Structure 1
Amino acid sequence: MSSLKAIIFDLDGTLVDSACDLRDAVNVLLAEEGLRQLDLDEVKSMIGDGAAKLVERAVSATGGDQSRLSALVARFLQIYEADATRHTQAYPGVPETLAGLRRLGLPLAVVTNKPYGATIDILEALGLRAYFDAIVGGDTLPERKPHPAPILAALGRLGIAPEAALMVGDNYHDVQAAQAAGVRAVAVTYGYSHKPHAELGAERLIDTMPELLPIVADAAS
Protein backbone atom coordinates (compact mmCIF):
# COMPACT_ATOMS: atom_id res chain seq x y z
CA MET A 1 0.00 0.00 0.00
CA SER A 2 1.30 3.44 -0.96
CA SER A 3 2.22 5.74 1.85
CA LEU A 4 -0.27 8.52 2.51
CA LYS A 5 0.55 11.94 1.04
CA ALA A 6 -2.75 13.90 1.15
CA ILE A 7 -6.10 13.98 2.97
CA ILE A 8 -9.40 15.06 1.41
CA PHE A 9 -12.37 16.00 3.59
CA ASP A 10 -16.07 16.29 3.01
CA LEU A 11 -17.53 19.41 4.67
CA ASP A 12 -21.12 19.04 5.96
CA GLY A 13 -21.40 16.27 8.54
CA THR A 14 -17.65 15.67 8.55
CA LEU A 15 -15.81 18.90 9.37
CA VAL A 16 -18.79 21.07 10.27
CA ASP A 17 -22.30 20.70 11.64
CA SER A 18 -24.32 22.96 9.35
CA ALA A 19 -27.74 21.35 9.82
CA CYS A 20 -29.31 24.18 11.85
CA ASP A 21 -28.46 26.83 9.24
CA LEU A 22 -29.66 24.58 6.43
CA ARG A 23 -32.89 23.90 8.33
CA ASP A 24 -33.47 27.61 8.90
CA ALA A 25 -32.93 28.46 5.21
CA VAL A 26 -35.15 25.58 4.07
CA ASN A 27 -37.90 26.69 6.44
CA VAL A 28 -37.76 30.31 5.21
CA LEU A 29 -38.21 28.97 1.67
CA LEU A 30 -41.05 26.67 2.70
CA ALA A 31 -42.79 29.48 4.58
CA GLU A 32 -42.61 31.66 1.47
CA GLU A 33 -44.29 28.81 -0.43
CA GLY A 34 -47.00 28.33 2.22
CA LEU A 35 -45.63 24.88 3.10
CA ARG A 36 -45.13 23.29 6.50
CA GLN A 37 -41.88 23.62 8.44
CA LEU A 38 -39.35 20.78 8.75
CA ASP A 39 -37.69 19.74 11.99
CA LEU A 40 -33.94 19.24 12.36
CA ASP A 41 -33.98 15.46 11.97
CA GLU A 42 -36.01 15.71 8.77
CA VAL A 43 -33.52 18.16 7.30
CA LYS A 44 -30.53 16.06 8.38
CA SER A 45 -32.00 13.14 6.45
CA MET A 46 -32.03 15.33 3.32
CA ILE A 47 -28.46 16.75 3.52
CA GLY A 48 -25.49 15.53 1.53
CA ASP A 49 -26.22 15.52 -2.19
CA GLY A 50 -26.09 19.25 -2.85
CA ALA A 51 -28.50 22.16 -2.54
CA ALA A 52 -30.75 21.10 -5.43
CA LYS A 53 -31.33 17.67 -3.89
CA LEU A 54 -31.99 19.18 -0.46
CA VAL A 55 -34.62 21.53 -1.89
CA GLU A 56 -36.16 18.76 -4.00
CA ARG A 57 -36.48 16.51 -0.95
CA ALA A 58 -37.88 19.32 1.22
CA VAL A 59 -40.46 20.34 -1.38
CA SER A 60 -41.43 16.72 -1.97
CA ALA A 61 -41.83 16.04 1.78
CA THR A 62 -44.11 19.06 2.21
CA GLY A 63 -46.26 18.61 -0.88
CA GLY A 64 -44.86 21.59 -2.80
CA ASP A 65 -44.78 22.27 -6.54
CA GLN A 66 -42.02 20.12 -8.06
CA SER A 67 -42.34 21.88 -11.44
CA ARG A 68 -40.74 25.04 -9.99
CA LEU A 69 -37.66 23.37 -8.54
CA SER A 70 -35.03 25.39 -10.40
CA ALA A 71 -36.55 28.66 -9.17
CA LEU A 72 -36.88 27.28 -5.64
CA VAL A 73 -33.24 26.13 -5.60
CA ALA A 74 -32.11 29.59 -6.70
CA ARG A 75 -34.20 31.21 -3.96
CA PHE A 76 -32.91 28.75 -1.36
CA LEU A 77 -29.30 29.57 -2.23
CA GLN A 78 -30.09 33.28 -1.96
CA ILE A 79 -31.51 32.75 1.54
CA TYR A 80 -28.83 30.32 2.71
CA GLU A 81 -25.76 32.09 1.37
CA ALA A 82 -26.84 35.37 2.96
CA ASP A 83 -26.37 33.83 6.42
CA ALA A 84 -24.66 30.44 6.13
CA THR A 85 -22.59 30.68 9.31
CA ARG A 86 -24.96 31.76 12.10
CA HIS A 87 -25.19 28.36 13.83
CA THR A 88 -22.64 26.29 11.89
CA GLN A 89 -19.76 24.99 14.00
CA ALA A 90 -16.76 22.75 13.54
CA TYR A 91 -17.22 19.33 15.13
CA PRO A 92 -15.18 18.70 18.31
CA GLY A 93 -11.49 18.17 17.64
CA VAL A 94 -11.59 19.30 14.00
CA PRO A 95 -9.28 22.36 14.24
CA GLU A 96 -6.78 20.44 16.37
CA THR A 97 -6.81 17.50 13.97
CA LEU A 98 -6.27 19.72 10.93
CA ALA A 99 -3.38 21.42 12.72
CA GLY A 100 -1.89 18.01 13.55
CA LEU A 101 -2.16 16.87 9.93
CA ARG A 102 -0.39 20.02 8.76
CA ARG A 103 2.39 19.32 11.25
CA LEU A 104 2.81 15.96 9.52
CA GLY A 105 3.42 17.93 6.33
CA LEU A 106 0.33 16.66 4.49
CA PRO A 107 -1.58 18.83 2.01
CA LEU A 108 -5.32 18.95 2.72
CA ALA A 109 -8.37 19.49 0.52
CA VAL A 110 -12.13 19.91 0.88
CA VAL A 111 -14.41 18.23 -1.65
CA THR A 112 -18.05 19.02 -0.96
CA ASN A 113 -21.39 19.08 -2.74
CA LYS A 114 -22.11 22.45 -1.06
CA PRO A 115 -21.72 25.47 -3.37
CA TYR A 116 -18.19 26.88 -3.44
CA GLY A 117 -19.15 30.34 -2.17
CA ALA A 118 -20.90 29.06 0.94
CA THR A 119 -18.04 26.62 1.55
CA ILE A 120 -15.47 29.42 1.58
CA ASP A 121 -17.69 31.58 3.83
CA ILE A 122 -18.03 28.77 6.37
CA LEU A 123 -14.34 27.82 6.38
CA GLU A 124 -13.33 31.46 6.81
CA ALA A 125 -15.90 32.11 9.56
CA LEU A 126 -14.66 29.11 11.52
CA GLY A 127 -10.96 29.90 11.01
CA LEU A 128 -10.35 26.76 8.96
CA ARG A 129 -9.71 28.18 5.48
CA ALA A 130 -5.92 28.38 5.89
CA TYR A 131 -5.58 24.63 6.44
CA PHE A 132 -6.67 23.73 2.89
CA ASP A 133 -4.62 23.79 -0.30
CA ALA A 134 -7.53 22.91 -2.59
CA ILE A 135 -11.31 23.36 -2.31
CA VAL A 136 -13.79 21.86 -4.76
CA GLY A 137 -17.45 22.83 -4.31
CA GLY A 138 -20.63 21.33 -5.64
CA ASP A 139 -20.73 23.93 -8.42
CA THR A 140 -17.01 23.87 -9.27
CA LEU A 141 -17.42 21.10 -11.86
CA PRO A 142 -20.38 19.72 -13.81
CA GLU A 143 -20.12 16.55 -11.66
CA ARG A 144 -20.62 16.12 -7.91
CA LYS A 145 -19.95 13.23 -5.54
CA PRO A 146 -20.53 10.27 -5.83
CA HIS A 147 -18.87 10.97 -9.21
CA PRO A 148 -15.07 10.72 -8.77
CA ALA A 149 -14.32 13.88 -10.80
CA PRO A 150 -14.32 16.34 -7.84
CA ILE A 151 -11.88 14.18 -5.89
CA LEU A 152 -9.65 13.76 -8.93
CA ALA A 153 -9.76 17.53 -9.52
CA ALA A 154 -8.63 18.19 -5.95
CA LEU A 155 -5.82 15.66 -6.28
CA GLY A 156 -4.76 17.27 -9.55
CA ARG A 157 -4.42 20.61 -7.77
CA LEU A 158 -2.41 18.98 -4.97
CA GLY A 159 -0.24 17.01 -7.40
CA ILE A 160 -0.98 13.76 -5.56
CA ALA A 161 -1.82 10.36 -7.08
CA PRO A 162 -5.11 8.74 -5.97
CA GLU A 163 -3.41 5.75 -4.35
CA ALA A 164 -1.52 8.15 -2.03
CA ALA A 165 -4.67 9.91 -0.80
CA LEU A 166 -7.39 9.36 1.80
CA MET A 167 -10.98 10.66 1.73
CA VAL A 168 -12.77 11.36 5.03
CA GLY A 169 -16.55 11.67 4.88
CA ASP A 170 -19.82 10.86 6.61
CA ASN A 171 -22.01 9.53 3.80
CA TYR A 172 -22.26 6.93 1.07
CA HIS A 173 -21.46 9.40 -1.70
CA ASP A 174 -18.10 10.19 -0.06
CA VAL A 175 -17.08 6.55 0.05
CA GLN A 176 -18.43 5.82 -3.45
CA ALA A 177 -16.60 8.81 -4.92
CA ALA A 178 -13.37 7.82 -3.18
CA GLN A 179 -13.56 4.23 -4.36
CA ALA A 180 -14.37 5.32 -7.92
CA ALA A 181 -11.33 7.63 -7.83
CA GLY A 182 -9.02 4.92 -6.43
CA VAL A 183 -8.71 6.69 -3.08
CA ARG A 184 -8.88 5.11 0.38
CA ALA A 185 -11.87 6.07 2.52
CA VAL A 186 -12.51 6.63 6.23
CA ALA A 187 -16.03 7.44 7.45
CA VAL A 188 -17.03 9.29 10.61
CA THR A 189 -19.89 7.81 12.62
CA TYR A 190 -21.47 11.20 13.33
CA GLY A 191 -22.82 13.49 10.61
CA TYR A 192 -25.71 12.88 8.24
CA SER A 193 -25.35 9.36 6.87
CA HIS A 194 -28.38 8.05 4.99
CA LYS A 195 -27.54 4.43 5.81
CA PRO A 196 -25.83 2.53 8.67
CA HIS A 197 -22.14 3.44 8.81
CA ALA A 198 -21.07 -0.20 8.69
CA GLU A 199 -22.71 -0.42 5.25
CA LEU A 200 -20.85 2.53 3.74
CA GLY A 201 -17.89 0.42 2.61
CA ALA A 202 -15.18 2.58 4.22
CA GLU A 203 -11.90 0.95 5.23
CA ARG A 204 -12.16 2.44 8.73
CA LEU A 205 -14.82 4.09 10.88
CA ILE A 206 -13.95 6.77 13.41
CA ASP A 207 -16.21 8.17 16.15
CA THR A 208 -14.37 11.48 16.56
CA MET A 209 -12.10 13.44 14.23
CA PRO A 210 -8.98 13.21 16.46
CA GLU A 211 -9.01 9.42 15.90
CA LEU A 212 -7.86 10.19 12.36
CA LEU A 213 -4.42 11.40 13.44
CA PRO A 214 -2.87 8.06 14.51
CA ILE A 215 -4.37 6.35 11.44
CA VAL A 216 -2.80 8.93 9.15
CA ALA A 217 0.51 9.01 11.03
CA ASP A 218 0.86 5.24 10.59
CA ALA A 219 -0.07 5.37 6.90
CA ALA A 220 2.10 8.39 6.13
CA SER A 221 5.28 6.91 7.55
Structure 2
Amino acid sequence: MSSLKAIIFDLDGTLVDSARDLRDAVNVLLAEEGLRQIDLDEVKSMIGDGAAKLVERAVSATGGDLSRLLELVARFLPIYEANAARHTEAYPGVVETLSSLRGLGLPLAVVTNKPYTATIDILEALGLRAYFDAVVGGDTLPERKPHPAPILAALKHLGVAPEAALMVGDNYHDVRAARAAGVRAFAVTYGYSHKPHAELGADRLINTMSELLPIVANAAAV
Protein backbone atom coordinates (compact mmCIF):
# COMPACT_ATOMS: atom_id res chain seq x y z
CA MET A 1 0.00 0.00 0.00
CA SER A 2 1.12 3.52 -0.76
CA SER A 3 1.01 6.33 1.79
CA LEU A 4 -2.06 6.21 4.03
CA LYS A 5 -3.41 9.29 5.80
CA ALA A 6 -6.86 8.21 7.12
CA ILE A 7 -9.07 5.18 7.66
CA ILE A 8 -12.86 4.99 7.41
CA PHE A 9 -14.73 2.15 9.07
CA ASP A 10 -18.17 0.70 8.57
CA LEU A 11 -19.94 -0.01 11.88
CA ASP A 12 -22.25 -3.06 11.89
CA GLY A 13 -20.39 -6.24 11.05
CA THR A 14 -17.04 -4.42 10.99
CA LEU A 15 -16.45 -2.69 14.31
CA VAL A 16 -19.41 -4.05 16.27
CA ASP A 17 -21.66 -7.09 16.37
CA SER A 18 -25.12 -5.53 16.64
CA ALA A 19 -27.20 -8.41 15.33
CA ARG A 20 -28.81 -9.38 18.65
CA ASP A 21 -30.09 -5.87 19.37
CA LEU A 22 -31.35 -5.48 15.81
CA ARG A 23 -33.09 -8.86 15.99
CA ASP A 24 -34.73 -7.98 19.28
CA ALA A 25 -36.01 -4.63 18.00
CA VAL A 26 -37.29 -6.14 14.76
CA ASN A 27 -39.06 -8.87 16.69
CA VAL A 28 -40.82 -6.31 18.89
CA LEU A 29 -42.13 -4.65 15.73
CA LEU A 30 -43.11 -7.97 14.16
CA ALA A 31 -44.92 -9.03 17.32
CA GLU A 32 -46.92 -5.80 17.26
CA GLU A 33 -47.91 -6.69 13.70
CA GLY A 34 -48.85 -10.26 14.60
CA LEU A 35 -46.03 -11.63 12.47
CA ARG A 36 -43.63 -14.45 13.26
CA GLN A 37 -40.30 -13.82 14.94
CA ILE A 38 -37.02 -13.96 13.02
CA ASP A 39 -33.84 -15.63 14.25
CA LEU A 40 -30.28 -14.35 14.44
CA ASP A 41 -29.14 -15.81 11.12
CA GLU A 42 -32.12 -14.27 9.36
CA VAL A 43 -31.47 -10.81 10.71
CA LYS A 44 -27.77 -11.03 9.82
CA SER A 45 -28.79 -11.58 6.20
CA MET A 46 -30.88 -8.39 6.37
CA ILE A 47 -28.36 -5.99 7.96
CA GLY A 48 -26.30 -3.43 6.12
CA ASP A 49 -28.45 -1.19 3.96
CA GLY A 50 -30.03 0.97 6.65
CA ALA A 51 -33.01 0.73 8.98
CA ALA A 52 -35.66 1.07 6.29
CA LYS A 53 -34.22 -1.81 4.28
CA LEU A 54 -33.91 -3.97 7.38
CA VAL A 55 -37.57 -3.41 8.23
CA GLU A 56 -38.59 -3.98 4.62
CA ARG A 57 -36.72 -7.29 4.46
CA ALA A 58 -38.06 -8.47 7.80
CA VAL A 59 -41.66 -7.57 7.02
CA SER A 60 -41.41 -9.13 3.57
CA ALA A 61 -39.89 -12.35 4.95
CA THR A 62 -42.69 -12.70 7.50
CA GLY A 63 -45.58 -11.89 5.17
CA GLY A 64 -46.36 -8.41 6.44
CA ASP A 65 -47.91 -5.43 4.68
CA LEU A 66 -45.21 -3.52 2.81
CA SER A 67 -47.65 -0.80 1.81
CA ARG A 68 -47.24 0.51 5.40
CA LEU A 69 -43.45 0.45 5.28
CA LEU A 70 -42.91 4.12 6.15
CA GLU A 71 -45.12 3.75 9.21
CA LEU A 72 -43.34 0.59 10.27
CA VAL A 73 -39.89 2.16 9.89
CA ALA A 74 -41.04 5.14 11.97
CA ARG A 75 -42.15 2.72 14.70
CA PHE A 76 -38.99 0.63 14.49
CA LEU A 77 -36.52 3.46 15.03
CA PRO A 78 -37.52 4.40 18.61
CA ILE A 79 -37.82 0.72 19.54
CA TYR A 80 -34.26 0.11 18.37
CA GLU A 81 -32.71 3.35 19.58
CA ALA A 82 -34.04 2.77 23.10
CA ASN A 83 -31.83 -0.34 23.42
CA ALA A 84 -29.28 -0.06 20.62
CA ALA A 85 -26.35 -1.07 22.82
CA ARG A 86 -27.90 -3.63 25.18
CA HIS A 87 -26.18 -6.66 23.62
CA THR A 88 -24.02 -4.97 20.98
CA GLU A 89 -20.29 -5.36 21.50
CA ALA A 90 -17.06 -4.59 19.71
CA TYR A 91 -15.48 -7.44 17.80
CA PRO A 92 -12.21 -8.90 19.15
CA GLY A 93 -9.22 -6.67 18.52
CA VAL A 94 -11.25 -3.58 17.62
CA VAL A 95 -10.50 -1.45 20.69
CA GLU A 96 -6.80 -2.29 20.66
CA THR A 97 -6.52 -1.64 16.93
CA LEU A 98 -8.31 1.70 17.08
CA SER A 99 -6.11 2.79 19.97
CA SER A 100 -2.96 1.82 18.10
CA LEU A 101 -4.10 3.55 14.92
CA ARG A 102 -4.69 6.76 16.84
CA GLY A 103 -1.24 6.28 18.31
CA LEU A 104 0.10 6.39 14.76
CA GLY A 105 -1.57 9.78 14.34
CA LEU A 106 -4.11 8.57 11.78
CA PRO A 107 -7.49 10.33 11.72
CA LEU A 108 -10.38 7.85 11.78
CA ALA A 109 -14.02 8.03 10.74
CA VAL A 110 -17.16 5.90 10.83
CA VAL A 111 -19.40 5.82 7.76
CA THR A 112 -22.46 3.65 8.29
CA ASN A 113 -25.95 3.19 6.93
CA LYS A 114 -27.24 2.97 10.51
CA PRO A 115 -29.12 6.07 11.71
CA TYR A 116 -26.80 8.66 13.24
CA THR A 117 -28.42 8.72 16.70
CA ALA A 118 -28.14 4.96 17.17
CA THR A 119 -24.58 5.06 15.83
CA ILE A 120 -23.48 7.65 18.38
CA ASP A 121 -25.29 5.80 21.18
CA ILE A 122 -23.43 2.59 20.36
CA LEU A 123 -20.04 4.25 19.98
CA GLU A 124 -20.46 6.03 23.30
CA ALA A 125 -21.79 2.96 25.13
CA LEU A 126 -18.81 0.89 23.98
CA GLY A 127 -16.24 3.60 24.68
CA LEU A 128 -15.38 4.00 21.00
CA ARG A 129 -16.62 7.52 20.26
CA ALA A 130 -13.36 9.26 21.18
CA TYR A 131 -11.42 7.38 18.51
CA PHE A 132 -13.30 8.99 15.62
CA ASP A 133 -12.90 12.47 14.18
CA ALA A 134 -15.96 12.12 11.95
CA VAL A 135 -19.16 10.06 12.05
CA VAL A 136 -21.53 9.89 9.08
CA GLY A 137 -24.80 8.02 9.60
CA GLY A 138 -27.30 6.64 7.14
CA ASP A 139 -29.52 9.68 7.64
CA THR A 140 -26.78 12.32 7.77
CA LEU A 141 -26.95 12.95 4.02
CA PRO A 142 -29.64 12.30 1.39
CA GLU A 143 -27.35 9.55 0.04
CA ARG A 144 -25.95 6.49 1.77
CA LYS A 145 -23.61 3.67 0.80
CA PRO A 146 -23.07 2.38 -1.88
CA HIS A 147 -23.22 6.03 -2.99
CA PRO A 148 -19.79 7.64 -2.49
CA ALA A 149 -21.17 10.84 -0.90
CA PRO A 150 -20.93 9.69 2.75
CA ILE A 151 -17.30 8.62 2.33
CA LEU A 152 -16.43 11.86 0.55
CA ALA A 153 -18.15 13.86 3.31
CA ALA A 154 -16.08 12.10 5.96
CA LEU A 155 -12.88 12.70 4.01
CA LYS A 156 -13.72 16.37 3.58
CA HIS A 157 -14.15 16.65 7.33
CA LEU A 158 -10.81 14.90 7.89
CA GLY A 159 -9.06 16.98 5.24
CA VAL A 160 -7.74 13.88 3.47
CA ALA A 161 -7.77 13.11 -0.25
CA PRO A 162 -9.49 9.89 -1.39
CA GLU A 163 -6.31 8.35 -2.75
CA ALA A 164 -4.73 8.63 0.72
CA ALA A 165 -7.61 6.89 2.50
CA LEU A 166 -8.77 3.34 3.20
CA MET A 167 -12.30 2.04 3.75
CA VAL A 168 -12.73 -1.05 5.97
CA GLY A 169 -16.11 -2.76 5.77
CA ASP A 170 -17.83 -6.11 5.62
CA ASN A 171 -20.28 -5.86 2.72
CA TYR A 172 -20.63 -5.09 -0.96
CA HIS A 173 -21.93 -1.57 -0.38
CA ASP A 174 -18.76 -0.66 1.53
CA VAL A 175 -16.52 -1.73 -1.34
CA ARG A 176 -18.75 -0.17 -3.99
CA ALA A 177 -18.89 3.14 -2.12
CA ALA A 178 -15.12 3.14 -1.66
CA ARG A 179 -14.51 2.39 -5.33
CA ALA A 180 -16.88 5.17 -6.38
CA ALA A 181 -15.11 7.59 -4.04
CA GLY A 182 -11.64 6.65 -5.26
CA VAL A 183 -10.73 5.05 -1.94
CA ARG A 184 -8.99 1.74 -1.32
CA ALA A 185 -11.14 -0.96 0.29
CA PHE A 186 -10.50 -3.82 2.70
CA ALA A 187 -13.21 -6.26 3.79
CA VAL A 188 -13.40 -8.26 7.00
CA THR A 189 -14.50 -11.87 6.70
CA TYR A 190 -16.47 -12.04 9.97
CA GLY A 191 -19.31 -9.60 9.31
CA TYR A 192 -22.73 -9.72 7.66
CA SER A 193 -21.73 -9.97 4.00
CA HIS A 194 -24.56 -10.74 1.58
CA LYS A 195 -22.07 -12.17 -0.93
CA PRO A 196 -19.07 -14.49 -0.67
CA HIS A 197 -16.16 -12.37 0.52
CA ALA A 198 -14.06 -13.25 -2.52
CA GLU A 199 -16.72 -11.63 -4.72
CA LEU A 200 -16.77 -8.28 -2.92
CA GLY A 201 -13.93 -6.86 -4.99
CA ALA A 202 -11.94 -5.65 -2.00
CA ASP A 203 -8.22 -4.93 -2.30
CA ARG A 204 -7.62 -7.23 0.63
CA LEU A 205 -9.54 -9.48 3.02
CA ILE A 206 -8.73 -9.60 6.73
CA ASN A 207 -9.98 -12.24 9.14
CA THR A 208 -9.66 -10.17 12.31
CA MET A 209 -9.40 -6.44 12.96
CA SER A 210 -5.99 -7.02 14.55
CA GLU A 211 -4.61 -7.97 11.12
CA LEU A 212 -5.16 -4.40 9.98
CA LEU A 213 -2.58 -2.79 12.25
CA PRO A 214 0.69 -4.13 10.78
CA ILE A 215 -0.54 -3.44 7.24
CA VAL A 216 -1.49 0.12 8.11
CA ALA A 217 1.64 0.77 10.20
CA ASN A 218 3.80 -0.01 7.17
CA ALA A 219 1.67 2.13 4.88
CA ALA A 220 1.51 5.05 7.28
CA ALA A 221 5.28 5.07 7.49
CA VAL A 222 5.71 5.52 3.73
What TM-score bracket applies, with the shorter chain setting the length?
over 0.9
User: Which residue of structure 1 aligns with residue 186 of structure 2?
Assistant: 186
In 2, distance between residues paired with 1:137 and 1:17? 17
Shift of 1:2: 4.3
User: How does 1:128-167 map onto structure 2 within 5 Å?
Assistant: 128-167=128-167
Residues 48-99 of structure 1: per-residue CA shift (max 9 Å, x gap)? 0000000000000000001000000010001000110100000001000000
In 1, distance between residues paired with 2:113 and 2:135? 11
Which ranges in structure 2 are unaligned for 5 or more consecutive residues? none
Residues 131-156 of structure 1: per-residue CA shift (max 9 Å, x gap)? 00000000000000000000000000
User: Which residue of structure 1 aligns with residue 89 of structure 2?
Assistant: 89
In 2, distance between residues paired with 1:206 and 1:200? 13
Residues 164-195 of structure 1: per-residue CA shift (max 9 Å, x gap)? 00000000000000000000000000010000
User: How does 1:60-71 map onto structure 2 within 5 Å?
Assistant: 60-71=60-71
Matched residue SS, 2:187: strand
Matched residue SS, 1:205: strand
The one-letter code matched in structure 1 to 2:162 is P
With the length of structure 2 as denominator, give the TM-score of the two structures: 0.99
Tell whether the 8 Å contact from 1:2 to 1:163 is kept in structure 2 after alignment: no
Which ranges in structure 1 are unaligned for 5 or more consecutive residues? none
Matched residue SS, 1:166: strand
User: Which residue of structure 1 aligns with residue 14 of structure 2?
Assistant: 14
With the length of structure 1 as denominator, give the TM-score of the two structures: 0.99
Residues 80-125 of structure 1: per-residue CA shift (max 9 Å, x gap)? 0011010000000100000010011000000000000000000000
In 2, distance between residues paired with 1:27 and 1:154? 33
Residues 18-62 of structure 1: per-residue CA shift (max 9 Å, x gap)? 000000000000000000000000000000000000000000000
User: Which residue of structure 2 aligns with residue 111 of structure 1?
Assistant: 111
Size of the aligned set, in residue pairs, is 221
In 1, distance between residues paired with 2:44 and 2:191? 8
CA RMSD of aligned residues (A): 0.6
In 2, distance between residues paired with 1:166 and 1:195? 21
User: Which residue of structure 1 aligns with residue 44 of structure 2?
Assistant: 44
Matched residue SS, 2:37: coil
Matched residue SS, 2:147: coil
User: How does 1:112-127 map onto structure 2 within 5 Å?
Assistant: 112-127=112-127
In 1, distance between residues paired with 2:168 and 2:41? 23
User: Which residue of structure 1 aligns with residue 32 of structure 2?
Assistant: 32
User: Which residue of structure 1 aligns with residue 206 of structure 2?
Assistant: 206
Instruction: Detail structure 1 runs of 4+ shifted over 4 Å in the superposition.
Output: none
Matched residue SS, 2:168: strand
Tell whether the 8 Å contact from 1:60 to 1:66 is kept in structure 2 after alignment: yes
